[in-house]
């Protein structure tokens, strides 16, 4: 796991992501999930869902007894 620096500018917090993180564009959606803060590209907010579809097994959502 990598770390990021956080600085402040008045009442704003600025998160400085490492260079090898993807460029998310000029704006992101932000969501707090428990203790985590999630940044989602505003240009393509559904991409993480599409990327995750391959992670489900073949029998996902099949009937089980």
- What are the pLDDT digits (tens) for 20-62? 988 888 899 999 999 999 998 888 878 877 888 888 888 877 7
Using DSSP bridges, classify how beta strands 36-41 and 28-33 pair: parallel, antiparallel or unpaired.
antiparallel
Measured CA to CA, the distance from residue 61 to residue 25 in angstroms comes to: 35
Q: What is the pTM for the complete model shown?
A: 0.62
Measured CA to CA, the distance from residue 13 to residue 7 in angstroms comes to: 6
Can you read off the two tokens belonging to residue 2? 């990598």
Measured CA to CA, the distance from residue 35 to residue 27 in angstroms comes to: 22
pLDDT of residue 12: 95
Question: Average pLDDT for residues 2-21, to the nearest whole number?
Answer: 93
Q: Are 41 and 28 in contact (CB under 8 A)?
A: yes
């Amino acid at each position: 796991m990598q770390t990021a620096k956080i600085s402040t500018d008045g009442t704003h917090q600025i998160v400085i992501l490492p260079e090898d993180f993807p460029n998310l564009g000029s704006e992101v959606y932000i969501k707090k999930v428990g203790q985590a803060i999630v940044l989602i590209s505003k240009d393509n907010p559904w991409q993480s869902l599409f990327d995750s579809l391959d992670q489900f097994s073949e029998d996902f959502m099949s009937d089980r007894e």
